[in-house]
Structure 1
C-alpha cells in the first residue's frame, strides 16, 4: 500500500482500476449470477412441491391415493417458500447486478488524466457506490445498520 501511494498518479489510477474497480465488477457480477441461479432453483423446488400437492389432492379426492400426504407436502412447500423469502436470493441478485452496473458506469467515467483533486473525488464516488451496497447487505443480515461513532 505504501509503495502504491508513493507511485505516480498514473500507476495509482491503473492499480485502482484493475485491483479495485474491475475486481469489484467481477465479484458483483459473479454473485448476481449465483444468487439468480439459486433463486431459480428454489422457485422451481417450490413449484414442484405445489404441483405434487395439487396432484396428491386430486388423487385423494378420487380415492386413488390411500395415504393423506397433502399436509406433509404443504408443510414442505411452506418451508421452502419461507427459506427462500428469508434468504432473499432474488433481491440480492438484483442488488448485486445493479452494483456491478453502477461500478461499470463509474469505470467508464474514469479519466486517467484527472488532477489529484479530481482523482480523489472520483475515488470517493466509486467507494460510496461500493459502500452503499455493502451497507444494504449488512442491514439485511442484521436488521440494522451500524452507525459511525
Structure 2
C-alpha cells in the first residue's frame, strides 16, 4: 500500500520533485520498524504519524483562526477610520478625501482574506484534528487483524484534508488521481 501511494505521488508530481539516485522509498528505519512486535509498531505509528499529524493540524487551525480574526479586525478598523474621515470631510473638519483610498484598501484586504481562506482552512484543520484524535483512540485498542483497516481510516482523514488543501491552492485538483 505504501509503495502504491508513493508511486502514485511520484507519477503525478514527477515534474516537481527531484530525486537523487540514492533515494530509497523505504528507509532503513522503516525496515527496522517492520521487524518489531505489533504493539511497538502500533505505538510508533500512533506517536510518529497520527499524533504528529494531529499536532500539526491543530497548530495550523490556531494559526489560520488567528489570521482570520486579525484580518477581520484590521478591516473593521479601516472601515471605522473611513467613516470617521468621511464624516470629518462632510462636516468641514478637513479637505482631504481619503474615503476612496480607504474603500480600495478595504476591498483589496477583503479580496486577500478571501483568497487566503483563513476561516475555511481553520475549520478544515480543526475537523481533521478531531478526526485524528478519534483515530488515535481507535488505534490504541485495535487488534492486529484489524490494524490495516483502522490505520487506513486515519490515513483517509489526512488524505481528505490534503486533497481539499491542494484543490484550494493549485487549481489542479482535476489532474490528481486518488492517492
Give TM-score, length-normalised by structure 2.
0.79
RMSD, matched Cα:
1.4
Alpha-carbon distance, 1:144 to partner: 3.4
Instruction: Tell me the number of residue pairs that the alignment of Structure 1 and Structure 2 aligns.
Output: 148
What's the counterpart of residue 142 of structure 1? 170
Alpha-carbon distance, 1:56 to partner: 1.1
Q: Is the partner of 1:67 in helix, strand or coil? A: coil
In 2, distance between residues paired with 1:32 and 1:106? 18
In 1, distance between residues paired with 2:37 and 2:155? 21
Q: Is the contact between residue 13 and residue 112 of structure 1 (CA under 8 Å) also seen in structure 2?
A: no
Q: Is the contact between residue 60 and residue 68 of structure 1 (CA under 8 Å) also seen in structure 2?
A: yes
In 2, distance between residues paired with 1:17 and 1:78? 45
In 2, distance between residues paired with 1:55 and 1:147? 53
Unaligned runs of 5+ in 1: none
In 2, distance between residues paired with 1:90 and 1:130? 19
In 2, distance between residues paired with 1:21 and 1:104? 8
Unaligned runs of 5+ in 2: 1-29
What's the counterpart of residue 68 of structure 1? 97
Q: Is the contact between residue 46 and residue 77 of structure 1 (CA under 8 Å) also seen in structure 2?
A: yes
Q: Does 1:43 align with 2:72?
A: yes
Q: Does 1:105 align with 2:134?
A: yes
**Pairing partner for 1:86 from 108, 112, 115:** 115
What's the counterpart of residue 12 of structure 1? 41
Residues 136 and 113 (structure 1), Cα distance of their counterparts in 2 relative to 1, 3 Å cut: closer
In 1, distance between residues paired with 2:43 and 2:177? 32
**Taking CA–CA contacts closer than 8 Å with sequence separation of 6 or more, which of the two structures ends up with the larger relative contact order?**
1
Moved more, 121-130 or 139-148: 139-148
Give TM-score, length-normalised by structure 1.
0.94
What's the counterpart of residue 121 of structure 1? 149
